[in-house]
Amino acid sequence: MSDRASVLRSALQRKRALVVPGCHDALSAKIVENARFEAVQVSGFGLAGSLLGQPDVGLVEMKDILDVTGHIARAVAIPVMADIDTGGGNALNAASLTERLLEMHVAGVNIEDQIFPKRCGHMEGKQVTAAEEMAGKVRAMSDTRRRLGRDIVINARTDAYAVYGLSEAIARANLYLEAGADMAFIDGIGTRAEIQRAVREVRGLFSVNLMDGVTGVKTELIPVPELAAMGVARVSIPVASIFVVHRALTDFFAALRASPTGLLAGQTNRLTSFAEYTAFVGLPEYRALEREYLLVPAGLAH
């Protein structure tokens, strides 16, 4: 059993609304870890933005998703949850992707029941597959981890709420849990009362998304302690990292372009210092390894 998967599974089983922020690359994952969160979620929305500068509508190739997820898993020690969208095709593709994630020591994985190309859960125009097709993917993924003797937490997302309503979404969540998923997620669920109902009727761990400070989303913003009191297992904050980066870069380069000197001298509040950044990404440790193993020129010895 993967240690990180075991840590994640144990934290989720406490049903205390484990907050799992989203990240879009290895650096943002390290920042999440440094802020002392217990786990991190790879954001498909964030990957589409950071890799392609495009919306989350199924444009990112699965190879790129796996590559970035691997970088993230190597960059942090906390559990990482991957996002494989609709599973890369059919149940056999989903099983193959599960095997790849297990090799990378990824602790958890999200898979959803949308028709490819998928859409971000808070966009309009979503369509879902037959519930039995998604259940087959989940069963293949669960069988793969059992066959390999390794663990990964399977989070089955349904987008049926937007298409058919809450009752169908709950029925699908339970079907996917019966097929071998460990946790269910009803994306786009609306209100506190609906979340309370889902926690009661979903026969397993239940996850919700929150997007603090973001307008136009569909899920009511509820304080995390209240979600914990309801018995929610996980709270994902999936898009914050890419939105923060977009705002910070937009403001910085707009100010730089407007500056009559072409500089922002003295505006240290806009930037991390060189020393702080290089320390964060591990340059001092790397230099120590150079001194230990390489023939470093005398001028670079310190």
Residues of the chain with pLDDT under 70: 1-2, 119-125, 212-217, 296-302
3-state class (DSSP) for residue 144 = helix
CA–CA separation, 249 and 73 (whole Å): 26
Question: What would the two tokens of residue 241 be?
Answer: 């990292």
Q: Where are the beta strands (DSSP E) in 1-58?
A: 18-23, 40-42
DSSP string spanning 166-190? HHHHHHHHHHHHHTT-SEEEETT--
pLDDT of residue 212: 66
CA–CA separation, 255 and 248 (whole Å): 11
pLDDT of residue 89: 95
- Domain range list for the chain: 3-245, 272-302
pLDDT of residue 58: 87
pLDDT of residue 300: 61
pLDDT of residue 23: 98
Whether this model's pTM surpasses 0.85: yes
pLDDT of residue 302: 58
Domain covering 3-245, topology: TIM Barrel (3.20.20)
Report the chain's terminal Cα–Cα distance, integer Å. 42
Tens of pLDDT, residues 100-125: 999 999 999 999 999 987 766 556 66
CA–CA separation, 250 and 246 (whole Å): 6
Contact 76, 40 (CB under 8 A): yes
The CA–CA distances, whole Å, from 28 to 43, 71, 110, 210, 281 equal 11, 11, 19, 18, 11
CA–CA separation, 90 and 214 (whole Å): 34
pLDDT of residue 295: 84
Phi then psi for residue 80, to 5 deg, are: -115, 130
- Residue of 121, 92, 116 lying closest to 207 (CA atoms): 121
pLDDT of residue 118: 74
Burial grade of 284 (CB within 10 A; 0-12, 13-18, 19 or more): exposed
Contact 202, 174 (CB under 8 A): yes
The CA–CA distances, whole Å, from 117 to 58, 89, 114, 198, 227 equal 5, 10, 8, 27, 31
Question: What would the two tokens of residue 267 be?
Answer: 């505006």
CA–CA separation, 61 and 51 (whole Å): 10
pLDDT of residue 1: 41
